[in-house]
Structure 1
């Protein structure tokens, strides 16, 4: 495991404390780039930085008498129903900032999106949920339940985008 990845894993473990568990199963770098490219995604600098630090993590945590999870494995990410290049273009346009898929969460396989500015969002049939800024903060918010669970329509009736949530 790369030193940067190991430090990131330690940071996530500290963020979730005893409230959740973390498993680590990173994918080899050549496979990551190939799979993203095969699915039609550009490997941006900010996506590469996230993947170098956090790819291959699965966080499991209790929620309402069941165990939920969030995975940053490339396989889980690219299999999420809303993790398509077309969806990313639509989300990016509608919220006013580029986003790319970096994981999947919950039984519904909501897409975990990374915005260019470091914010994390969930995207699903119900809409978009702003989650947190930074992955450690996202992990902590997830396992503690301390995040706004409100769904924001992808675009409001007035045409306003969600860009105000991301600043």
Structure 2
């Protein structure tokens, strides 16, 4: 499904302009919420808002290295498949409740939404805070202006 840019903020439209390819696949928000609940995730306002706006998106963007084309997806099947133990460990490090919302890079880092509104990456190398709010975090990512410090 092609994106209807009118449904997105100016920040998300800027994100899209930096990407090589972006798609949002059809989804039913109620079914997505039910899928999270079946996997044992507590679904509340912040996660529900994310689901209604950004579920099932796929972004491919120019990488910081020549020829690299990193990818980030908010595919529901990928998100609910994140190992709960990883999320629990990431929560300890971040000090906030986290929900899996997708996957990024060839390394399959978990993309996590924090109750503080921040987007985090968690993978073998550790936890990184990307940005506050999904559009803002995506803009920082696709423009390579995010703090890559691990904690």
Q: 1:6 to 1:111 in 2, by over 3 A?
A: farther
User: So what's the TM-score if we normalise by structure 1?
Assistant: 0.77
Unmatched runs of 5 consecutive residues or more in structure 1: 153-167
Q: Which has the greater radius of gyration?
A: 1
How far off its partner does 1:21 sit?
Answer: 2.7
Q: Could you say what secondary structure the match of 1:62 adopts? A: coil
In the aligned structure 1, how far is the partner of 2:9 from the partner of 2:123? 27
Q: Is the 8 A contact 1:13 1:22 kept in 2?
A: no
Unmatched runs of 5 consecutive residues or more in structure 2: none
How far off its partner does 1:147 sit?
Answer: 0.9
In the aligned structure 1, how far is the partner of 2:57 from the partner of 2:19? 16
How far off its partner does 1:27 sit?
Answer: 2.1
Query: Residue 90 of structure 2 corresponds to which residue in structure 1?
Result: 91
Q: Is the 8 A contact 1:16 1:139 kept in 2?
A: no
In the aligned structure 2, how far is the partner of 1:145 from the partner of 1:41? 31
User: So what's the TM-score if we normalise by structure 2?
Assistant: 0.84
Q: Equivalences for 1:23-102 in 2 at 5 Å? A: 23-63=23-63, 64=65, 65-79=67-81, 83-102=82-101
Query: Residue 127 of structure 2 corresponds to which residue in structure 1?
Result: 128
Deviation per CA, 1:102-131: give whole Å up to 9, x if none: 111011110011111110110011110110
Q: Could you say what secondary structure the match of 2:119 adopts? A: strand
Number of corresponding residues? 146
- C-alpha RMSD over aligned residues: 2.2
Deviation per CA, 1:49-84: give whole Å up to 9, x if none: 1111111111111212121111112022223xxx23
